[in-house]
Amino acid sequence: MINKTAAQMAEALAKGETTSVELTQAHLDRIAAVDGQVKAFLHVDTEGALAQAKDVDARRAKGENLSPIAGIPLALKDVLVQKGVPTTAGSKILQGWHPPYDSTVVSKLKSAGVVIMGKTNMDEFAMGSSTENSGYGPTFNPWDLTRTPGGSSGGSAAAVSSFQAPLAIGSDTGGSIRQPAALTGIVGVRPTYGAVSRFGLIAYSSSLDQAGPFGRTVLDTALLHEVMAGHDPKDATSINAPVPAVVAAAKSGDVKGMKIGVIKQLQGEGYQKGVQTRFDESLQVLASLGAEIVEVDCPSFEYALAAYYLIAPSECSSNLARFDAMRYGLRTGDVDGASAEAVMSATRDAGFGREVKRRIILGTYALSSGYYDAYYGSAQKIRTLIIQDYAKAFAQADVLVSPTAPTTAYKIGEKVDDPMAMYLGDVATIPVNLAGICGMSLPAGLADEDNLPVGFQIMAPAMQDQRLYQAGAALEAALLSKWGAPILSKAPELKGAK
Amino acid sequence: MALPTYEEVIAKWDPVLGLEVHVELNTQSKMFCSCATEFGAAPNTQTCPVCLALPGALPVVNEKAIESTILIGLALNCKIAPYSRFARKNYFYPDMPKNFQISQYDEPICFDGYVDVEIETEEGAKQFRIEIERVHMEEDTGKSLHVGGATGRIHGADYSLLDYNRAGIPLVEIVTKIVPGTGKYAPEVAKAYVAELRDILRGLKVSDVKMEQGSLRCDANVSLKPIGSDVLGTRSETKNVNSLRSVERAIRGEMIRHAELLNDGKKVKQETRHFQEDTGLTRSGRSKEQAEDYRYFPDPDLVPVTPAASWIEELRASLPERPSLRRKRLKEEWNVPDKEMAAMINADVLDIVEATVLMGADPTKARTWWLGEISRIANEKELPIAELAITPAHVAELVELVAKGELTDKLARQVVEGVVAGEGTPSEVVAKRGIKVVNDDGALMAAIEKVCAEQAETAEKVRGGHLPAAGALIGAVMKETKGQADAARVRELLLGHLGH
């Protein structure tokens, strides 16, 4: 049962062929069997998950009207607060914190009857692209346990790709859903900024952060997308508009007559050969399905990475100021006579990891008086230029496409001492975040040189998320018939698996 | 060297003022969450994930606070920005949960206004225009109580207690441009400005404006320059100024302190100072020599404030009468002399007198009661007049009872005493205490006959035409009737009795 898609599981539940308790237990067993190697979860809430499953089964038995994914288990990135369940955002500074409230996303999952099995590993405060920056050790890529699953939502992506959960939630500030989806051979969507409430999402960079769904198919991802999105009065930046009809789009999956724009700047030099090959093939598949392929020019994308690494650290330097040992989380150095300032300083020194400190310092500098205009101010101008580039490109095409990441999964430890090399892995995903639009990554096959998954990225204008699913589902179906089996069936068996 | 006198200071130096007033709005909920704002609740009972800055919590602007701020801006003749943003002011302090304060920086919601204030001088009334630089919204911090240590400040304290009930209460900051040209009147102009602001805010019903509870707080900036010079001196910023009188005292005190330093050839330090209510002096606080870098940037969790022009016009149309115009109107309607008007404003009884008049009382009578006997009782009890148990309705009733002849002025004073003591309305006090004017002529005649018999010699003088002597007899009759007689009627009857 765990190898099925979420849509198939939902159907089995609806037909009474299985129960949510059975389904949840099967996944908990899988976690117990393989997560010692993958390390996708920071916390497994066995009791809570089974209680939720039992509750959903009871509601179903009473004939209540349930959401399409009621009873399906899910893995939640540890960046979203869940009442009473340890939430750390991958940081030692929040070790032992039990939130007294639910994030809006969690509230929506609960009321939809989705079973939250546990919290997944991530780069500390979502800062990173490999999950190696977690305060609790790295997550390993199920395709090759010596490699990273990408990040920052590496735990969620690894959980779904290793069949520990059919669905998962991540967050995407610069590519943190799409890039790990690409590196683990699954589907991940970063919805339009403001489409999913940020209330209860521990902030890294408020103007870029957005939670989104992971699934093994485009339809599964759409089913979760529809449940988690929607206006929230508790988030001032939440968009007050109906959720785009993403499930219907995923079911229709048609690109006939669709104009697909290939971004000139996001291919070629710097992209691994096998990545480029699979990307080009996918374009041919789309063309064969009746799509019109055009090339678009986005010259400002050259500056996107630089702008991102000014805006995100600036916002994080302020967002992370609240972790001061006064009200929750870690407190160190509180010995006789220590001043409040000394305790704050000792706690932040002990609780934050190197990458977090690096970005706080970078952001503090960028916002400083005398430097603000040159750094933060200029970055905002680049942001405007990128928005204008997208506007022009979307005048020529319905969706835009690129490889999701320039390379396939790299070795653990390969880039930890070279932040610039690590940052370059986000070059294709970051423009979406800066413009506040939506993007999807879906599997395009395996690279010839290393047999590792390659991601194909689709981008659509704000609140046109359904276009991602419409194009994605068409490509997915065509590739599936070409391959004969889902890509994950080609992943090696994990030790301990049945 | 002795401190210079104020006269010596103003003979040589010209003060320049700058005033920053913080107003706590009286909205039901906080600036960015739905927590209650009531004053005096048990510590940390009015908090939630948002105002405690729990991970993941987000602010959402209170629309009512925006409305109140626009009303304030309009009442201060400001322009209202069609687009303004909230900014984060970043600094670490334990009573600020997020370690940044949401405020407004280079894009305030209201800007470029003015307030005219008038003060009484020996040369008559003088008007000053105080220009307003900006009016912006921000959130209040929590309160810290530093326990132990000598200074009551965080450094040296044994431990600190934090109450976050106040964290996130909406604050409006009203900042003046520099105010030159007030000369020797600087302290009075500053006081008059704060009083005028308070009256305007009270009229708008947007704040409790209680300085003693901190819902209106004034930071006074003062610097001195030599008379005739264009070069501004170094300013000090005095905080903790908690009453109108303190505004005046703090500025006068700082002018003297600055002058002493400058006269000695020393420099004034740019710093924050704390006003000491008991001594009237200021104490050095945080030094501002190294300006703190707050790293302001637009708050990405909030959207810009874009009030519709039609809404602004609606609010403008709803503005109440400006206090200065109201004072002018009342002065004319009530026909009050300048001095009396000033006395009423000084004693802060204008609202209460107007309320009494609106209940039918004669303006002069109403004024006399509030400014005289009732003010005297308030002073004696060291209470604000508004906190006494006597209300405008009571005073209106009292005035009516006197006018009907049911009470004499003297008896009415006893009634006031009873009302203040909580014995009920004037009629109830009259009934309970058995106070009544003796207007039974028979009883009065008996007393008159008795007094005339006792003081036969005086009575003869009056009978013989020496009328001033009647006063002693009337006094004796009043005493005989325990003050409950109407003195005019006694006089009438007495003179009749003695052949006039």
Q: Indicate whether B453 belongs to any domain.
A: yes
Burial grade of A236 (CB within 10 A; 0-12, 13-18, 19 or more) = buried
- Does one domain contain both B382 and B293? no
* CA B356/CA B246 separation, integer angstroms: 30
Residue ending a domain, among B411, B433, B455, is B433
- Does one domain contain both B55 and B100? yes
- Does one domain contain both B329 and B376? yes
Q: Indicate whether B185 belongs to any domain.
A: yes
Q: Indicate whether B228 belongs to any domain.
A: yes
- Does one domain contain both B18 and B45? yes
Residue ending a domain, among B383, B416, B433, is B433
- B88:A200 CB<8 A: no
Backbone angles phi, psi at A455, to 5 degrees: -105, 145
Chain B interface residues (partner A, CB cutoff 8 A): 49, 52-61, 88, 90, 92, 94, 97-100, 154-155, 160, 162, 293, 295-297, 300-303
Assembly ipTM? 0.95
Does any CB of chain B come closer than 8 Å to the CB of residue A395? no
Q: Where are the beta strands (DSSP E) in A297-360?
A: none
- Does one domain contain both B277 and B384? no
- Does one domain contain both B249 and B280? yes
* CA B302/CA B280 separation, integer angstroms: 42
Of A208, A13, A192, A210, nearest to A105 by C-alpha is A210
- Does one domain contain both B296 and B357? no
Q: Indicate whether B93 belongs to any domain.
A: yes
Q: Could you list the residue range(s) of the whole structural domain that residue B131 is in? A: 6-315
Residue with tokens 């890509």: A487
Q: What is the CA radius of gyration of chain B?
A: 29
- A234:B97 CB<8 A: no
Contacts of B94 in chain A (CB under 8 A): 324, 326, 340
Q: Indicate whether B393 belongs to any domain.
A: yes
Contacts of B301 in chain A (CB under 8 A): 203, 206, 236-237
CA–CA distances in Å: residue A53 to residues A21, A60, A84: 5, 11, 17
Output DSSP code: residue B296.
-
Residue A138 CA to its chain's centroid (Å): 16
Whole-prediction pTM: 0.87
* CA A289/CA A301 separation, integer angstroms: 29
* CA B246/CA B217 separation, integer angstroms: 11
- Does one domain contain both B361 and B481? no
CA-nearest residue to A339 within chain B is: B155
* CA A177/CA B61 separation, integer angstroms: 30
Does any CB of chain B come closer than 8 Å to the CB of residue A321? yes
* CA A408/CA A392 separation, integer angstroms: 30
- Tens place of pLDDT per residue across chain B (500 aa): 578 999 999 999 999 999 999 999 999 999 999 999 988 899 999 999 999 999 999 999 999 999 999 999 999 999 999 999 999 999 998 889 999 999 999 999 999 999 999 898 888 889 999 999 999 999 999 998 888 776 666 777 778 899 999 999 999 999 999 999 999 999 999 999 999 999 999 999 999 998 888 899 999 999 999 999 999 999 999 998 989 999 999 999 999 999 999 999 999 999 899 998 888 888 887 655 556 899 999 999 999 999 999 999 999 999 999 888 888 899 999 999 888 888 888 788 888 999 999 999 999 999 999 999 999 999 898 888 888 999 999 999 999 998 888 888 888 998 999 999 999 999 999 888 888 777 677 788 888 888 888 888 888 888 888 888 888 888 888 888 877 787 888 888 888 888 87
Q: In what order do the strands lie in the sheet with B79-80?
A: B79-80, B110-121, B124-139, B170-176, B13-24, B216-226, B236-241, B271-275, B282-287
Report the DSSP beta bridge partners of residue B118: B127
Report the DSSP beta bridge partners of residue B139: B170
Q: If you count residue pairs, one on A and one on B, with CB atoms under 8 Å apart, how many are there?
A: 101
The structural domains of chain A, ordered by start, are 6-301+383-490 (3.90.1300.10)
- Does one domain contain both B150 and B285? yes
- Does one domain contain both B133 and B175? yes
Q: Indicate whether B402 belongs to any domain.
A: yes
Q: What is the CA radius of gyration of chain A?
A: 21
- Does one domain contain both B100 and B160? yes
Contact B70, B204 (CB under 8 A): no
What is the DSSP pairing of strand A292-296 with strand A259-263?
A: parallel
Q: Indicate whether B1 belongs to any domain.
A: no
Contacts of A371 in chain B (CB under 8 A): none
Residue ending a domain, among B378, B399, B433, is B433
Q: Indicate whether B67 belongs to any domain.
A: yes
Q: B84-118 burial string, b = 16+ CB within 10 Å, else e?
A: bbbbbbbeebbbbbbbbbbbbbebbbbbbbebebb
Does any CB of chain B come closer than 8 Å to the CB of residue A176? no
CATH number of the domain at B487, please.
1.10.10
- Does one domain contain both B401 and B445? no
- B155:A322 CB<8 A: no
CA-nearest residue to B296 within chain A is: A367
Total domains in chain B come to 3
Residue A152 annotated among the catalytic residues of the structure: yes
